[in-house]
Structure 1
Amino acid sequence: MKKVILWSALLLPLTGICQQQTVSDTESLSDLNLHAIMTFLSKDSVPERDVQGDFNILNAILNKDMGEGALKKEMDALDMVRDSIAFYHLVTTKPAAIYQKKLLLKKQFVEEHPDSYVSLYELEDNNGMYTADSYALAYEKLSDRLKKTYAAGRIRDRIKEWKKLTPTGIQAVNFTRKDQHGKTIQLSDYRGKLVLLDFWGSWCGACRQSHPHLKEVYERYKNKGLEIIAVANENVHSKGTPLKERKAAWLAAIKKDEVNWVHVLNDEGSGGVDIVNAYQISSYPTKILIDKDGKVLMRVSSLLNVEMDQMIKSILEKEAKK
């Protein structure tokens, strides 16, 4: 069977959207697109010649092989039908690590080119690599020329929106649900632990692409005080579908992805507090880190976010040394 990678579903998800776009398996993981940048800048009448140079620089950086060649060889050695389990494991682990490197390179480019229109675009497009605070800081470091553009207004609007969403330092909203095993749990039961709330859904390719990374984090820190509580919203693409069927899809995804932490369903028919609404979740995946006293530390809407990884490591490894 011919292998075609659905890169956009596996590797290049837009926040809150799980798109599928079939491309050649020889194409790189760079999703930089000059037309998209020019469309973003269209109301500012920026000439393409003022963008092309920096576009070429970043595109060359992103097109360097960071493991794509080796990944393609591994995939070519597998039969998608006969080796379906191995193939699934491969495409849901290694590509994410490669993609994360690309995202970090984009973030680095923004830091090193504060007067580039490409940086302005990447700050908008690659916003999932930032928290609310670091996003605002990255914007402030841009040149005055860029800040005066119409396009920069979209970034300022996002900063304002993010600051309203579950601000750091507030008490996390408590909730009660039955977990995947039928045991009743409350968020407050986990006081004394560092809790990562992961908002996802079985329908969300971007969310499930983040599972291998979360599994690594969980294995590393579950015995040092970390707990993951995953809150699934199965209503997004299943309106009108009976609760029994939505619950079956949720449980099947947990089993297939082998994500063995605490899972609850946002709508389990119990009439409890709507967790998704309480935390103002509008994009998937969204992750919220809660400290041992039940207060919000950080919120990100992203497949992969290094800042959250670093905070988990800093808190738990520091406490382990006490």
Structure 2
Amino acid sequence: MKPVNWGVLGASKFAREHMARAIHEAAGATLYALATSDPKKADDFKAFCPDLQVHGSYDALLSDPAVEAVYIPLPNHLHVEWTQKAIAAGKHVLTEKPIALKADEIDGLIAARDASGLLVTEAYMIVHHPQWQRAKTLVGEGAIGRILHADAHFSYDNRADPGNIRNRPETGGGSIPDIGVYTYGGIRYVTGAEPSRLSARIRRENGVDVYAQVTGQFAGAGGDFTFHAMTSMRLPPRQEVVFQGEGGLIRLTAPFNAGIFGEAQLHMLRPGKPDHVERFPDLRQYVRQVENFGRSLRDGVAYPWRLEDAKGTQAMIDMVFASEEPV
């Protein structure tokens, strides 16, 4: 397979530490170019990719005919704008989550994608990890019976970094846009169900949510089930997802930062049966994401997360904010 030539818009910390390295290491991919106005930031990328081409502006990178696909890790409020510009430049696009801040903003991206014939999607990496794929398969096969309840928890503490884009309202900050996409979208991905009723209790600082507790109900082909999710940027680190069914439960450890927060594991507990544990050490979901993008681009393999999927999760986020109750 001919490698995909990638360009990265912006020298963000996340790109430097994770996605640019994943592109550089992935089979079928070449980290070709970076756009940044600060040459010192480019040096950090050149340390592991010495041949990297550096452009002084985003527009210059989009004008480079050698760049075939673009990864966009910009602040949340810039995602739609630069995804549209990349499509207009004829580039395939992988944009960080959340790809938009309102569900209806994704309609324009879907229309532009369809008109261009390009591969345009959200960088929703968990669906590329076998821990999540196995959970989806097991739930779909009825391994724990009909789902009765699902809960998801994701927290970290960044109060010491007030300048972080996640702590700033003007950049689309908050725990829900940052990590609610995982606690909400992960439940949607595994169950194939959608929320029918939600209630949210949200605490804010400086105009962004720093703690959100959401409860409610999902409706799907397998029946209704209750739901609970907690996201926070002011609590000690915690990551866990649990699906409870009539015949047992499935628990996912390190479900969002596999290999970083801890080892990704799947535990299936069923009365009267031995506990079932699957471990997934040393699997890099960011690398798998890039490789799957390349296979979809080159070989037409179905990509596991479409703009329509991203719109569904964003619609749930919109629903969460609309259902907020006084704290």
- Is TM-score (shorter-chain normalized) higher than 0.5? no
Higher helix share: 1
What is the TM-score normalised by the length of structure 2?
0.29
